[in-house]
Structure 1
């Protein structure tokens, strides 16, 4: 399915346009609900992407928000029709058990966008991002939060991690990588590590060495491009948490969304000023980082050091 015909991307375009138009008009969600005689929760669900909007409701909303340009109205109505189409369930593994129960709502939405993304930029200060993880590294990492109700994890919604949850999340990362590999010819995947990620031996020396080797292998196969922010780089990254930026949609209608952690919660961010600010910061750090060839050499040296007896 082409990006322009994707219900996922069409739904995103509609809700971003609606939210930005509402904010430009100086209206709150409650005021929109009152004017259209909707429930407040209905407006929230539409803007959050939890519900698609009917054509009739969209016409009324666009009129209220004073969106009158025929070309723009027609484009949004066309998107609304596409957004209401059902996608093939057999391809949406994240909607099935056990992923439906064990993945957070923001993570499931992130994976849905990831399946449509043309570009992915991942900034990491704690651990290797999911699609690059080996199963052993992923299991060791995620198991750290078993039983922890305040788990600081990319998939955490609070509430302890059971064995079933750990297995589902590790398997989800494998499925994400396989889906991305099937599109590797058209998908741009940039991964930026803080040096600490490549120094922290999660799972022990042998598991971590195998993880680092997988990064080298995936980069060598053209799956990803990687760079490192060394400890001695004179820049401040303390105010940057790990995040992923996804670019979705066709030329002329592209949108960027962000997935990030915030304490014990994770979240999807679809606010244009916020995503633009993080994209600008990523680009700055990418240019300042160690070149890919030097990063790979650093990783190989790190693998060798892990193999030496202590």
Structure 2
């Protein structure tokens, strides 16, 4: 229901409906701009979630897009009002972070604050929200030649703040992390830093913030072609479209210094299904904890 949405979730709901309705009607963004007597950039910004749409603009737009079901129109109008509710400026919206963080990363952080569950898959490193600052710095320094000093520092600060935000949500956020065995064998930052990072993972697991499974080298299953991705659910994981696609999921995909948010329901659902298959093929949480403890002893 719209009245249960936060402004972040409401804004996403409205823009996705508008984009899907436009595509279903066979209209381009330029068609919408000309019909509504708007600039093309306004249409693009609405569909990207950069700006909200006023209810007075939404009603004629829905008519043009052939969205005529009265209950749906009323719900969207109510949702649009929520989306325009002014929120306290979050740290990641401040000018210095907007300048140095990618659009995809800032949107991920915004979604993380509203998420009910987050599922992370990684072949190369510990997921960002679980990283200690020392591990983050050692990891991001690998890309020293591709970032300015300021970019590195603000990304490091962003990871620190994301980690703190996750700790504050113990009990209200469900997280899982599926990590390839190579993640545990690659001692980023050296033995001491990496051992501390592994101890932090165990601490978070003991606090029931995250469930961790390792995908071993010996597993009789194919790895995902993606080096890593996060599936973020902003609502129930069970809600689906008629085609069986997940309604409330978005995916964040990162490769080196580039990244993106994927909101296509079919693509996100396909990756989540792949995640669940790999999760079942991995060793369970107790075996993973035993492996991590053994790895810490080796590093010490």
TM over 0.5: yes
Residues 1:301 and 2:287 aligned together: no
Secondary structure at the counterpart of residue 145 of structure 2: coil
The residue that corresponds to 1:182 in the other structure is 168
- Match for 1:203 among 183, 189, 197? 189
Q: What is the aligned partner in structure 1 of residue 151 from structure 2?
A: 165
Looking at structure 1, the residues matched to 234 and 288 of structure 2 have their Cα atoms a distance apart, in angstroms, of 28
Are the structure 2 counterparts of residues 40 and 114 from structure 1 closer, same or farther at C-alpha, using a change threshold of 3 Å?
A: same
Pair 1:242 & 2:228 matched:
yes
CA contact (8 A) 2:132 2:163 kept: no
Residues 30-73 of structure 1: CA deviation (Å, up to 9, x unaligned): 22223323222222111111111111221122111111111110
Q: Give the Å deviation of 1:238.
A: 4.8
Matched with 1:106 is 104
C-alpha displacement of 1:96: 2.4
**8 Å Cα contact 2:187-2:194 kept in structure 1:** yes
For residues 121 and 259 of structure 1, the distance between their equivalents in structure 2, rounded to whole angstroms, comes to: 10
- Aligned partner (choices 135, 138, 141) of residue 140 of structure 1: 138
User: Structure 1 CA distance, aligned partners of 2:34 and 2:98?
Assistant: 34
Change (3 A) 1:26 1:97: closer
Summarize the Cα distance change of 1:119–1:3 in structure 2 as closer, same or farther, 3 Å threshold: farther
Question: Are the equivalent residues in 2 in contact too, given 1:106–1:268 (CA < 8 A)?
Answer: yes
Per the alignment, residue 22 of structure 1 pairs with 22
Alignment check: 8 A CA contact 1:119 1:188 kept: yes
Are 1:33 and 1:40, in contact at CA under 8 Å, matched by a contact in 2?
A: yes
Moved more, 107-116 or 253-262: 253-262
1:153 is matched with none
Q: Are the counterparts in 2 of residues 121 and 245 from structure 1 also a CA contact under 8 Å? A: yes
Q: Say what the alpha-carbon RMSD is for the aligned residues.
A: 1.9
Deviation at 1:177, TM superposition (A): 2.0
C-alpha displacement of 1:3: 8.5
For residues 1-310 of structure 1, the aligned pairs below 5 Å read 4-89=4-89, 92-96=90-94, 98-148=96-146, 160-162=147-149, 164-249=150-235, 255-262=248-255, 264-307=257-300
CA contact (8 A) 2:239 2:248 kept: no
- Rounded to whole Å, the distance in 1 between the matches of 2:208 and 2:252 is 24
Shift of 1:223: 1.4
| Residue deviations 1:233-278 (CA, integer Å, cap 9, x gap) | 1222251231111111468695111111256421111111111111
How far apart in 2 are the matches of 1:203 and 1:262?
20
State how far apart, in whole Å, the 1-side matches of 2:255 and 2:155 are: 19
TM-score, normalising length: structure 2: 0.91
**In 2, Cα distance between equivalents of 1:80 and 1:225:** 36
Q: Secondary structure at the match of 2:283?
A: coil
Gaps in structure 1 of 5+ consecutive residues: 149-159
Equivalenced residues, count: 292
TM-score of the two chains, using structure 1 as the length reference: 0.89
